Amino acid sequence: MSILTLDNVSKKYSNKVALKNINFSLDKNCIVGLVGPNGAGKTTLFRLIMNLIEPTTGKIKLWDQNNSTNIVGNNINYCSDGDNLYEDLTVSENLQFIVRAYGINNGNKKIEELSTLLDIDQELNTQAKNLSKGMRKKVALIRTLINEASMIILDEPMSWLDVDNQKRLTMLLKSMSKKSLIIISSHNMAQVEKICDKVILLNQEIKYFGDIEDIDYGNIIKLKIEYVKESYNSQLKKELISIVGVLDVYSVDEALYIEYDNSIGDIENQIISCVIQRYKLNVKRINHIEKSLEDLYFERVR
């Protein structure tokens, strides 16, 4: 059974295209990362899944049923990038409201467990308006996760969390993904690689969809050349980018980074010859850099 299927879904606002021909299917519980630039359609996609808006064309199915408010309300929880807390209520009261609204069994125990896990148990009697942004984020996350919905959608869940709490939340989400489909949006691709099982690169259209571990970076290679500053000639970058197959050249501190298509003949020899023989760069070290999700993002989305 498919949990979530989008079949040729597009969305227009007046004459503006927000999403175009979106097709993907998720048939098992896992963590899916949604990555894209501002204005790529991520929020629109979330709203479509939650039946807050209707697609201009195409169909959305949840658990093999046509999308409806009833299906969403009973099975999907959402945490926006904001926190939307009741300001004059305490942390405990904000969470108790959700426990009662959903009729959650063992609600007090779950509040205790999650507040301890995310290190906010000492703030349960603090009014929401007196919390820091990081603490507010934790309350919003607990409120979303406490009833263990079948699908959980989290918009930038790691924002405002310190490193320790990011690690704690990662462990919690990985545990919950055994029973729930979790979709998160993030601009931090290193976090997406660490947390997620699958990734969707979105920019109005899907630029990539698949398992993190199965990403094929093809023939694109990145070379890092560290050098002695005094030997550098600013014309070198222009010369390198003119070589057929070189895709990008940039420098950071005293290192050149060169991306190139390794399927083109002896391109690496051409690069090294240009650097060392023609421009006499005093090279300290040459390394191949392992590709990352960020590299794939810039190749497919930019």
The answer, yes or no, to whether residue 302 has pLDDT greater than 70, is no
pLDDT in tens, 205-249: 999 999 998 887 778 889 999 999 999 999 999 999 999 999 999
Please compute the mean of the pLDDT values over residues 65-74 and round it to a whole number: 91
Write down the pLDDT at residue 168: 96
The answer, yes or no, to whether residue 266 has pLDDT greater than 70, is yes
Write down the pLDDT at residue 195: 96
Please compute the mean of the pLDDT values over residues 21-45 and round it to a whole number: 97
The answer, yes or no, to whether residue 283 has pLDDT greater than 90, is yes
The answer, yes or no, to whether residue 82 has pLDDT greater than 90, is no
pLDDT in tens, 142-182: 999 999 999 999 999 999 999 999 999 999 999 999 999 99
Write down the pLDDT at residue 215: 84
pLDDT in tens, 118-131: 999 999 999 999 99
Fold of the CATH domain 4-213: Rossmann fold (3.40.50)
Mean pLDDT estimate for the chain: 94
Of the chain, the percentage scoring pLDDT greater than 90 comes to 87
Q: How confident is the model at residue 193 (pLDDT cuts 50, 70, 90)?
A: very high
Cα-based distances in Å from 69 to 62, 115, 142: 11, 30, 23
Burial of 239 (0-12, 13-18, 19+ CB in 10 A): middle
The answer, yes or no, to whether residue 284 has pLDDT greater than 80, is yes
Q: Residue 52 is which amino acid?
A: L
Write down the pLDDT at residue 289: 87
Of the chain, the percentage scoring pLDDT greater than 70 comes to 100
For the chain, the first-to-last Cα distance in angstroms comes to 35
Per-domain boundaries in the chain: 4-213, 220-300
Q: Going by CATH, does the domain composed of 220-300 fall within 3.40.30.10?
A: no
Please compute the mean of the pLDDT values over residues 40-68 and round it to a whole number: 96
DSSP 199-252: EEEEESEEEEEEEGGG---TTEEEEEEEE-GGG--THHHHHHHTSTTEEEEEEE
Dmax (CA) for the chain in angstroms is 74
Which of 30-34, 191-195, 294-298 has the highest mean predicted lDDT (pLDDT)? Answer: 30-34
Among the listed residues 144, 1, 145, the one whose alpha carbon sits nearest the alpha carbon of residue 62: 1
Structure tokens at 161: 């969390």
